[in-house]
Amino acid sequence: MEYNFEEYLNELAGPVLPQPPDLREHEPPIFKIHPTSFSMGSIQEKRFNEGFRADELNAHQCMLTLSNGRIGPELFFRIRFPDDARDEEEDEYGDSLHNPFPILSARCLLEDVEAIHIDKIANYQQEYNHRNVQGRLTFALRRPPPIEVDQRRHPHFSRAKILRRATDLDFLPYSGSELGMGAPSTMPRGHWVSTPMKFGLWLTYSFEFDCPRGEWDRVVLALSRLRAVSRPGLDNTSVVNSESSVVARPITILPRRPVRRDPYVGEEDDFPDVGRLLRDARYPFEMRYLVCGLVSQGLLLPGEVPELIHRFFPIESISKTTAAIRALFRLPRRLLNGEQCIQKQVQRIGSARPLPLRIPRDRVAVRRVVVTPTRVLLFPESIEMGNRVVRAWPKQMNEGRFIRVGFADENGRLGVNKRMLEGDSEDPEGGVLARIRNVLRSGVDVAGRHYVFLATSESGLKEHSSWMICEDPASNFTADRVREQMGDFSGEKVVAKYSARMGLCLSATVPVAELDEDDVEELPDVKHGKYTFTDGVGNCSQDLANRCAIKLGSDRTEPSAVQIRMGGYKGVLSVHPHLTGNQVCLRPSMRKFLSPLRGLGVMKVSGFAPAHLNRQAIAILESQGVRVTHLMDMYKRQIERAQMLELDFAALDTGRHPARHIYKNAFIPILKMVKAGLKDELLLKNVLRCIKCQMLRDLKYKARILVNDGAYLLGIADEYDVLEPGQIYCAITPRGKNSRRVITGQCTIFRSPCIHPGDVQRVLAVNHKAFEDYPLTNVVVFSTKKAERDLPSMLGGGDLDGDFFTVIYDPNLQITREHPPGEYTAAIPIRKKHVTISDVQDFVVEYIKNDVLGVVSNYHTAVADYRGPQHVQCLQLAQKASDAVDFGKSGITVTIPEAMKPIRYPDFMDRAPEETYKSTRVLGMMYRMIEPAPQYDALPHSAMLVDTRIARKRVLASYLAQAGALKHSYDMDLESLMRMHNLCEAEIIAGVSVLSEQRRRRAADDAMRGPVREGMEAIRAHYRRTARQWVKSNSSGGGMEGWAIAAYQITHIPELRGRYVDGLNASRIGSVARATSVGFSAADDWEDEDAEYGDVQRRELISFPWMWAQELCDSLDDHDAIKEEDEEEEVGEQQGQRHWIDEWRRGALHDSDDDDEEKKPRLEMLPPSWLPT
C-alpha cells in the first residue's frame, strides 16, 4: 500500500480549522478628555506659535484619548468644527448646500511624539478650581500623523459619507478637491495657501479642556507613567508636567496673528515667501533645493529661513556653501530652532569646511522627492548607478532637471487598504489617490522649478515612484523630446506594456561600448509549438563579456553571460566562442521596441552564488517528498552557526558559512581584521552583532536556509543543441575555490517566487563534450530541443532574459514526487488604438491601487499551511498570483473572492494573536525554534578598546591634523546617510538593516541594496581618494599606512580626538540619538555649550579609520599575536597600562617601541586619574 505523505501532513495540520474567536473587545482608553479649543502650530524656543485656532468647540463632539492600540500606545483625537466654519454654497439650482468642514481625526503613535506638556490654565476662580480644572495638553510630533476625514458622522455633509485618509485640501474653506488644483510644492502655494491647517508644516497640537479634578489627576498620572515605560521608541518621548516639575517653564502661547480676517481661511502671511527670499539671496537651484529640503523635513522652521540665509550670505563659493547646507541634514530636529542655534550650527559647519559632493565615474547624483498626503519632502542627492536616459542629457542631469518622485504615507510606506479604495471609489477627486493623480498630471513644484511626468520603470512601479523632468524649451529639453529619443513605442497598443517599454530605458546600467552596425547580427529564435526556447537570450564574445565585468567593477573574471540593455533590446548575452571583439547576436524575442541606438549597457554579469531556501520553496519541498528531518537538521545547524558567529571566526573562511553572503557585503574586511588580531575592535564587534541578528531574523521570518550543495545561477539557452529535454548543464566555481566542477546527476530546480507545486521540478544534470571544448561556467544551460514545453516556462513562467534559477544537487533535498507545471491562463489585455502619456499616468495610479501580489502570496502561504500546496484553493491562488505578476504588463486587475481567503493564519506569519493558530508543519516548527525574537544590541562606546600596537606608533602632527579635518567631513556625510535612511553606523558598515521594525523591513532591505550601498561606496571612494592625494604630496609621514594609523589615533585616543577632531566636529550626536526635549525640558537652562542638544545620548562615529582597514592590517603584519599574562603578573600589567596612558598623554610614542609587550587597556576599567583630561 502506497504511503500518502500529503494526506498525513494535512491530518497533522488539521484541514478544518476552528472558527476565529470573537473580535477582541476594545480596551477602554487610559484617559479621555473633551477639548473646548484646538490649535496647531510650531514650537520655537519655548514659544508655541499658533498657526490655527478653533474656539468654542462642542466638547461632547470632540475627544482626545490615550490608549493601547494594536501597534502600541497612541494618542487619538477627533475634532468637529462648528457648522458655520465654512461658508454655505449653492448647487446648480441655487439651493443652499450645507458643506461644513469634515470631522478631523488622527492616531498618533507615541513613538512619533517628541514631547508632551500638560499645564493648568491660570486666572480662574478659586472655588471653581476646587471642583474642576481647566487645562492645556500640548504635544509635538516628529512627522505629521495620518490625518483622516470622517464624513460619515456629519449630518450636514453633502459629499460622499466616507472615512478616509485626508490631505490639506479636504479643509479648503470653499469647494475644491485634489484634482485640478495645480502642482503641490513644499511651501503652500495657490489653493494650498487658503487651507487653514498646514498639517505638513505645523507639527505641534494643543488642546484646552475642562474636566473634574479626579480626571485631571488621572491624566497627569497616565502621562507621568509614560516616562517609565520600557518600549522601543518611547525613550525618545519627553513628558513634562509644569505643575510638578521644578525646572520646567510654562510654554508661552503666541496666539494666532489677528491679521487673518477669517480664522478658517489661510493667508499668504501665514509663512514667509521662501521662494522670494532664496531668489533675492541669489541662491542657485542646488542651494534652494537643499534649504527647501530642510524645511520639508522639519529640520528648519519656515520662519527661520531668513536667519539661515543671513548666516550664509553673501555667497563666496557655491560648492562650499552647498556642501555646508547639505551637512545640516545630519542634524536632529530642533537644532536649527532659533537664531542662536542657527548661528552656532552654521559656525560649526563652516569651520569644518565640508567637502563638496564627488560623483564617481558611471554614477549620477539623483535628487529624490517624496509626496505624502500632507508634504512634499525633498532629500539631498544620493549617488546611484545611472541609466541611458540621464546619460543622454548630461548637462540637464548636472543642472538637476531630472528627479525621481515617489509616493508614500507619512511613515514612509504607502499602504493601500480597503478604506482607501472605497474612499477613492466614492470620491475619486479627493484623498490620497487623487493627490497622486494630480501630481502625475500636473507635476510638482520644487524649489522654484516645475517638474512634469516623464516615465516610470518596472522597479519604479513597485516602489511607487516615477521620473520627472524640469523642461527647458530653449534647449529643446521637453518630456516629449526625451521620450522621442528613448525609442519608438507607437507599435505597442497595451497601456501597461507601453509603460513597461519606456521603463526599460530607465533601467540602471553601466555603459560599456557603442557598437557599430556591423557588430550586430540577428539570430532566429528557437520555437516549438507556442513556446520560445530562446526567449530573451542572445550571444556575445568573451572579450565583450570581460569588459562588462570590468565596467561593473566585478571580481568575476571571464563571465559566461551578461544581462544587458541596448536600444530597444533587453535580455542576456551568453558567451559564444565564434564571436570576437564587439560582435553580438540578438534574437527577435529580445527586441521590445524600435530604436536606432546601439549603446550597450550592462546590468549584471553571471557568477556563482550559493543557493538558499525560503518559505515558499520549503513548503513545496515538504509536500513533494523531502523529509522534514533533513530540513530541520539544516535549520538547526544554521542557528548554531549564527549563534557561534562571534566565537568561530575560522568557519567564516571556509566558503560554506551561512553568513558568508552577508559579511562579504560589509565595508570592512572582517576576516583580515580578525587575522590581524583586531577582533576586539568595537566597530567589528558591532558589525558582527548586526550580521548575527540579520542571520537569525532571516532564519526566523524568512526561513532563509543556505544550501551548501546548490547554486543560484543565471539561465541561458543551449546554443549547441546537445541537451535532451529534461537535461541541464551546470558547471560552477564556488568562491574561494579555483577548481571548476561540473554537476552531474539528479537535481531539484526552481525559480522564485514558487507558489504552484509544479514550480519545483526534477531534472538531470549532465556533462557533454561540446561544453568541454567551449566551457560555460556559473550559468545553468537549458535544452532547446523539441519538447512539449521549455523548462524555464515550467518554473513559475520563467524565461531567459535575466531570470536566475536555484539548482540543488544535495541528495537529501531531491523531490520524490512531481506535480505537473502550472498551465496559467493569461489575461487578455485591453488594447487602445493610440496610447497617450495620460493613459500611462492613469495606469500608474491603477497599479498602485491594485498591486495585490503580496496579498495573494500571503493568502497562499496561509492556505498552503493548513490545506497543503496541492489543494484546489492553493492552485486557484497560484493562478491569481500569476495574474498579479502579469498585471504590470497586462493592466488587468486581480480580484480575490472571499472563498479564496484564509480563515486563520499560521503563527509563523506573525499576525495578531487572535488571527493565528499554531502551525504543525515544518515552517511552524522552524519559526518557534528561535525565541525570543532576535534583537540587535549594540555595545556602548564605553566598551571601546584601544589597540596599543597602533596607538603607540609615532605619527606626524600634520597627518593627525589633516586626518582630524577629514574625519569631521566624513562624519557629516555618514550622519546624513544614516539620517536619510534611519540607520545606525554599524548597520551601514555591515550592509544590513536590523533596527527597522518587522513591518518596515522590506523597504529598509531594498534601501540597503540600492541607495545606501551606492551612497556608502561613494563616500568610501571619495575619502580614500582624497587621502591618497594628500599623502602623495606629503609622503614623509609613512605613506598610506601612516595615514591609516593617524586616522585610528584621532578616532580612538581621547586626547588626540579632543585636540584634532572635537574642536571641529559637531557630529558627536549619536547615530540614533534624537533631541527629546523639544524646548520642554530643563535642557534650556543648562550652561553647557551643548545644552541645545537637550537630553541626547552622545555617541562617537568610529568607522572613519576603517576606510583604510587594509592598510591598518598591513601595518600589523610584523607583530605577534597579543600575549596573555599570568595572574601573578597582574601588578606588572597595570603598570604597563599606566605606562602607555602616560605615553599617549605626552605624545611620546615611537616606532622603536614595537618590541615592547602589547597591551589593550580597557578605558572604562582604568582609574580616572590615569585617563587623559
The distance of Cα 653 from the centroid of its chain, to the nearest Å, equals 30
How many other C-beta atoms can be found within 10 angstroms of the C-beta atom of residue 918? 11
Say what the pLDDT of residue 327 is.
78
How far lies 587's CA from each of 542, 718, 728, 850, in Å? 18, 14, 22, 33
Which among 847, 844, 852 has a CA at the least distance from the CA of 896?
A: 852
Say what the pLDDT of residue 139 is.
92
Say what the pLDDT of residue 905 is.
94
Tell me how far apart the alpha carbons of residues 904 and 863 are, in angstroms, rounded to a whole number. Answer: 8
Would you say 936 and 689 are in contact if contact means Cβ atoms under 8 Å apart? yes
Q: Are strands 96-97 and 527-528 parallel, antiparallel or unpaired?
A: unpaired
Tell me how far apart the alpha carbons of residues 667 and 876 are, in angstroms, rounded to a whole number. Answer: 45
Tell me how far apart the alpha carbons of residues 518 and 1099 are, in angstroms, rounded to a whole number. Answer: 61
Say what the pLDDT of residue 125 is.
46
Q: Terminal CA-to-CA distance of the chain, rounded, Å?
A: 83
Say what the pLDDT of residue 536 is.
96
Question: How many CA within 13 A on the CB side of residue 1072?
Answer: 16
Tell me how far apart the alpha carbons of residues 217 and 31 are, in angstroms, rounded to a whole number. Answer: 10
Residue type, 133: V
Q: Are strands 449-455 and 916-917 parallel, antiparallel or unpaired?
A: unpaired
Say what the pLDDT of residue 1161 is.
37
This prediction has a pTM of 0.83
Say what the pLDDT of residue 352 is.
59
Say what the pLDDT of residue 308 is.
86
Residue 751, C-alpha cell as written in the block: 525559480
Return the bridge partners of 916, or none: 905
Tell me how far apart the alpha carbons of residues 113 and 139 are, in angstroms, rounded to a whole number. Answer: 7
Digit-coded pLDDT (tens) for 617-647 = 999 999 999 999 999 999 999 999 898 887 7
Provide the 3-class DSSP secondary structure of residue 1127.
Answer: helix
Provide the 3-class DSSP secondary structure of residue 382.
Answer: strand
1114: left (phi over 0), alpha (psi -120 to 50) or beta: alpha
Which among 264, 263, 345 has a CA at the least distance from the CA of 304?
A: 345
Enumerate residue ranges in the chain where pLDDT < 50: 1-3, 5, 7-16, 91-98, 124-127, 156, 228-236, 244-250, 256, 999, 1065-1098, 1119-1173
Q: Helix count (H) and strand count (E) of the chain? A: 37, 40
Which among 988, 992, 991 has a CA at the least distance from the CA of 980?
A: 988
Range list of β-strands (E), 912-1019: 916-917
**Cα dihedral value 808, 809, 813, 816, nearest 10:** 100
Residue 226, φ and ψ in degrees, nearest 5: -60, -30
Tell me how far apart the alpha carbons of residues 684 and 666 are, in angstroms, rounded to a whole number. Answer: 10
Which among 605, 593, 617 has a CA at the least distance from the CA of 547?
A: 605
Residue with grid cell 589615533, as numbered in its chain:
1049
